[in-house]
Amino acid sequence: MGDKNSYQKMYPVSWEQLQRDCRALSWRLMEKGPWKGIIAITRGGLVPAAIIARELDIRLIDTICLSSYDWKEQGQAAILKPLQNDGEGWLLIDDLVDTGKTAQIARDMVPKAHFATVYAKPAGRPMVETYITEVSQDTWILFPWDAGAQFVEPIIQASE
């Protein structure tokens, strides 16, 4: 499930909901620490990593720069910036694990990191140790940084 035709549902996430979900993830991660630092998977993992870093008082943050999405089209993942760290004692943070393809690349780069995402889909869920919310594989998660304020039709009208 990676092309735009495979998404049947839309799950919009507000800034407030993302903040709550990241705080809930922080609570779970606090019990598993202490942590040396955070490795954020760009770009989606940047905002959750910032929130988690604040909540857990982590000041050391690095990034793995990967790209696999162009809007709703998932293509071949590309490593844009590698990391010189095996991840031991570090949190690996992303917004979402979808098919698991990008997650596998990140996992291979930092195999000893604790991988946590805010949202998880069934195909990618085995790749992460900690997540907050599971959504169906056919759902597109609309993050607040990808959305604007506009009228939304009621679900019943949109399905007709």
pLDDT for residue 69 is more than 60: no
Share of the chain above pLDDT 70, in %: 85
pLDDT for residue 1 is more than 50: no
pLDDT for residue 53 is more than 80: yes
Q: 3-class DSSP state for residue 143?
A: coil
91-116 pLDDT, tens digit each? 999 999 999 988 999 999 999 999 99
Please name which of 32, 31, 28, 83 lies closest in space to residue 61, comparing C-alpha atoms: 83
Q: Taking phi first (over 0 means left), then psi (-120 to 50 degrees means alpha), and beta for anything else, what does residue 87 get?
A: left
CATH assignment of 4-146?
Answer: 3.40.50.2020
Q: Which residues are catalytic?
A: 94-95, 98
What residue ranges do the domains of the chain occupy?
4-146
Q: Identify the burial level of 115 via C-beta atoms within 10 angstroms of its C-beta, where 0-12 means exposed, 13-18 middle and 19 or more buried.
A: buried
Mean pLDDT of the chain: 88
Rounded CA-CA distance 152/123 in Å is: 29
117-145 pLDDT, tens digit each? 999 999 999 999 999 999 999 999 999 99
- pTM of the predicted model as reported, rounded to 2 decimal places: 0.83
| pLDDT the model gives residue 147 | 83
Judged by average pLDDT, the poorest of 22-26, 98-102, 104-108, 153-157 is 153-157
DSSP 20: H
| Cβ(79)–Cβ(102) below 8 Å | no
Rounded CA-CA distance 79/64 in Å is: 8
Q: Percentages helix, strand, coil for the chain, rounded to the nearest 5?
A: 30, 35, 35
